[in-house]
Structure 1
Amino acid sequence: MAKNTHHPLALVRAARGMTGVDFARAIRAAAERRGLRSGTTKQRVYKWEADGVTPDRESQEYIAEVLGVPLEDVDVQSWPNWLPDVGVVPLGPDSTVPALREALRASMDRSRRTVLSAISGTALITLAGAWAATDAWPEVTERVQGKNIGADLVAVLEETSARLTALATQERQHTAALLDAHLATVTDLIAEGRYSPALRPRLHALAASLSQTVAWHRFDHGRHGEAGRYWIAGLHSAHASADHDMGAALLSDLAYQASWRNQPRTAARILERALTRTRHPAARSLLHLRLARALAAQGDRRATLRALSAAEHLLGVPTPDPVPAWCSWLSEADLAVDSGQSLNDLGEVRRAHQLIEEGQSLLPPSRDKTRGVFLAYRAKTHLDLGEPDLAAVTATQSLELAHRIGAPRCVELVQKLTPRFKAFADVEGVPELLAKAAA
């Protein structure tokens, strides 16, 4: 029987660079570690990868060991549904480089016109749970003989990456290839091990930060499979240097993506795990704010209000520690708008609209992309309040701003509203909006 290259086992095996022979050998080794024997061959692996052929219980346990899946997660009856998603490299003593290269490979796959699916909620929740329960491992990368890289090179990469990330949105849209190249370089440096112990946390911090930035670029352009893999790669990098706040940030971004994709239950479960280890008040404020959005989408009013109260309290808590760069933008404007979005989901439209309007007025001029998102939110609440003329004006402003600065996510938000506008085709401003949204 010919193998099925679309079977989950074939996909996860190929993602780890293992041939059928390699995989069979690894299964036999897993059996030997238990003092047992397995007769698995590449022919048997190919049969498993063909529809309808199910490994027995012992073989599934060996497969789990080879793939790094805990035995308690193996449900023999649901084969192959318990297999890990391609793209989710399990946290491990030396998992940073495989995770980074998996993300970089995702971009190469896109260039070859391969469509990458978003990673499942179950896989993300499992990864978040492993992060919350596991401490960082000491470095186990074998040192390569030869001259180490110097601190000057790392400093140049840090400075250049920071400057690229700090560009205005309309400029940053042109830097994707540069950021990808920086991340590939940092990945190679970590893999080669040619650096002093003092540079290790800086390289991992840089990999985490670059992964996060690249992920947001992919997310803004609707490439959710790639974005998820970069956020996961960043999580591995942050975990390697025991930066719990950064790890929580990356999990929070994965949760934000889940909410965007209408998976609020997944988002809430990820955020609950992320909150167990993050410590900075501003970081915790952002996570509670995103948790409120996920809870509101599920209609849990009491828990939503509790999360919003925590976010508001934590945002004002003084601390001697500097605010992490990844949440330094969080302000009263964001608190007001996200609170409004949460209340809107709970049916409190009038108060929601007031908060969103208030938040937009507080937003500094430098945050154009966020302004575009806020305008789209305002347009929605205008529609909810039965004000299609005002909604059309606001949505048009969002759309024009998004096109000017290159913010496709804002365009998507407005386009999602167009079916509702079609019922008001005779209202002033609506025909023009629909024409621009369809262009």
Structure 2
Amino acid sequence: MGVLAVGLDSLHRQADTANIVRADDRPNWLPLTADGVVPLGPRSFVPALREALRTAMDRRTFFTISGAALSVLASDGAAGPAVALADLEDGRPVSEEFVAFLEGSTRHLAGLATEQRQHTTTLLDAYLATVTGELKQGRYTPALGRRLHTLAAGLSQTIAWHRFDLGRHTHASQNWIAGLRYAHAAGDHDMGAGLLGDLAYQAAWRGDHPTAARILTHALTRARNPAARCLLQLRLARTLASQGGRSEQRAVLRALAAAEKHLNDAGTDRPAWCAWVSEADLAVDSGEALLDCGDTSRAHQLITEGERLLPAARDKTRGVFLTYRAASYLDQKEPEPAAAAATESLQLARRIGAPRCVRLVEDLLPRFEAYPRAPGVPELLHLAAA
């Protein structure tokens, strides 16, 4: 694109922004702080959610949340005490039956088959707005308040993953941050650690592995449930392996050993947000970490084993695992099985509406260009271009 075209494109974007943003709504469409992170505190829950929901446009063009801000947030979240929930005397009464209805409905939405979840985004937004309204304007006991805060944290986490899968990283961050505050208010340390782990996963996805490692280190000081600690250690192993170096390799092996122990210790009493962690995840994430450390043969075995162990209900994860398997075959210079795995992943991702999985396959395509006549490669490239 030439200089003139770039300039015209910029003017068009500014014009579009002027049409979307209302001057009389300022400053509601601006972040509350320079880096978009509301400081953790007893009154931060609604302002933090406002950063996620109360927006007139996609603000990715305005700011991104810095790694330093996320690290400070993680430190505060790991060290701060839970907020005392008092009996509220003002506002409309919130009944236990209504809270139970909200909890059951959100569990049902979260339990839908992967292919159906792509249709639930608007519903989840509406449920979260309802729960937030009850927390702000309702009258409820401390016990009901804790349930509402826990429900808001879970909804924020689910919505954040929807945004993340669509590549809307700023909105995903803001929902994870809002969820962290709700978990903090409910005194749910494991869920707070899980939300920090999600922010770390996003940082690693965007290539900021030092920030991801710092966040995960803070999160591990709070998590107590073995399944939660397993997931956090697996993510730590992955992000350390991506940084390379001998010292990191030793830390990777320690994290993988800790994850395996925690998974063996985990029983059926697990938080809902990490109830899915299984031998399949341990195998594939261990394989990916070893792949980055150069142990290609063992990595390929683990990735293949993990994909085989994955239950049918987790199609999106299967799509991610298939791309990992394709990458491991390419590392072994075996383009035919790599193309088969990548093709299956791409078809699955398009069927269930998972743009993040599509992006993973697209990132692999340049590596197939060295094998233009290998079986399956022309068909994969044609499918990707369609």
Q: Same fold (TM over 0.5)?
A: yes
* Alpha carbons 2:149, 2:186 under 8 Å: kept: yes
Q: Please give the residue correspondences for 1:287-298 in structure 2 after superposition, counting only pairs within 5 Å.
A: 287-298=232-243
1:119 aligned residue: 65
Distance in 2 (CA, whole Å) between partners of 1:16 and 1:387 is 50
Q: By how many angstroms is 1:369 displaced? A: 0.9
Q: Secondary structure at the match of 1:304?
A: helix
Q: Of 343, 347, 355, which aligns to 1:400? A: 347
Corresponding residue of 1:165:
110
Q: How big is the shift at 1:16?
A: 9.5
**In 2, are the aligned partners of 1:334 and 1:359 still within 8 Å (CA)?**
yes
Secondary structure at the residue paired with 2:177? Answer: helix
Matched, 1:220 2:170: no
Q: CA RMSD in A?
A: 2.1
Residue from 378, 382, 386 that aligns with 1:435: 382
Q: Which amino acid aligns with 2:264?
A: G
Gaps of 5+ in 2: 1-25
Confirm or deny that 1:177 pairs with 2:122. yes
Q: Do the aligned partners of residues 166 and 380 (structure 1) sit closer, same or farther apart at CA in structure 2, a change above 3 Å counting? A: same
Alignment partner, residue 253 of structure 2: 305
- Mapped to 2, the partners of 1:89 and 1:159 lie a distance apart of 30
Q: Using the alignment, how far apart are the partners of 2:358 and 2:175 within structure 1?
A: 23
Letter in 2 for 1:85: D
Shift of 1:145: 3.0
Equivalenced residue count is 359
Contact 2:114 2:313 in 1 (8 A): no
Judging changes above 3 Å, is the alpha-carbon distance between structure 1 residues 192 and 166 closer, same or farther for their aligned structure 2 residues?
Answer: same
Which among 81, 86, 99 is matched to residue 135 of structure 1? 81
Q: Given that residues 85 and 119 in structure 1 are in contact (C-alpha distance below 8 angstroms), is that contact kept between their aligned partners in structure 2?
A: yes
Paired with 1:144 and 1:329, the residues of 2 have a C-alpha distance of: 39
> Residues 282 and 330 of structure 1 are in contact (CA less than 8 Å); yes or no, is this contact kept in structure 2?
yes
Paired residue type of 1:301: Q
User: Contact between 1:144 and 1:192, CA under 8 Å: does it hold in 2?
Assistant: no
Percentage of identical aligned residues: 60
Aligned twin of 1:416: 363
Tell me the TM-score normalized by structure 2.
Answer: 0.89
Change (3 A) 1:209 1:283: same
Taking the TM superposition and a 5 Å limit, the aligned residue runs for 1:20-419 are: 84-86=34-36, 88-106=37-55, 108-110=56-58, 115=61, 117-139=63-85, 143=88, 145-299=90-244, 300-317=248-265, 322-419=269-366
Deviation at 1:371, TM superposition (A): 0.8
1:84 Cα shift? 4.6
Which secondary structure does the structure 1 equivalent of 2:65 belong to? coil
Larger radius of gyration: 1
Query: In structure 1, the residue corresponding to 2:333 is in which secondary structure?
Result: coil
CA distance in 2, matches of 1:357, 1:245: 30
Q: Structure 1 residue 423: deviation in Å?
A: 1.9
Quote the offset at 1:170 in angstroms: 0.9
Mapped partners of 1:222, 1:327: distance in 2: 22
User: Residues 110-135 of structure 1, C-alpha deviation per residue, up to 9 Å, x if partnerless?
Assistant: 3xx86464421111101000111211
Q: Which has the higher contact order (CA 8 A, sep 6+)?
A: 2
Give the Å deviation of 1:152: 1.1
Provide the rounded CA distance (Å) in 1 between the counterparts of 2:92 and 2:326: 59
Rounded to whole Å, the distance in 2 between the matches of 1:115 and 1:370 is: 30
Deviation of the 1:176 alpha carbon: 0.2
Aligned-pair distance for 1:139? 3.8
Alpha-carbon distance, 1:351 to partner: 1.0
SS of aligned partner of 1:424: coil
Q: Which amino acid aligns with 2:104?
A: E
Q: In 2 relative to 1, CA 114–125 (structure 1 residues): closer, same or farther, beyond 3 Å?
A: closer
* Alignment CA distance shift 1:435-1:317 (3 Å): same
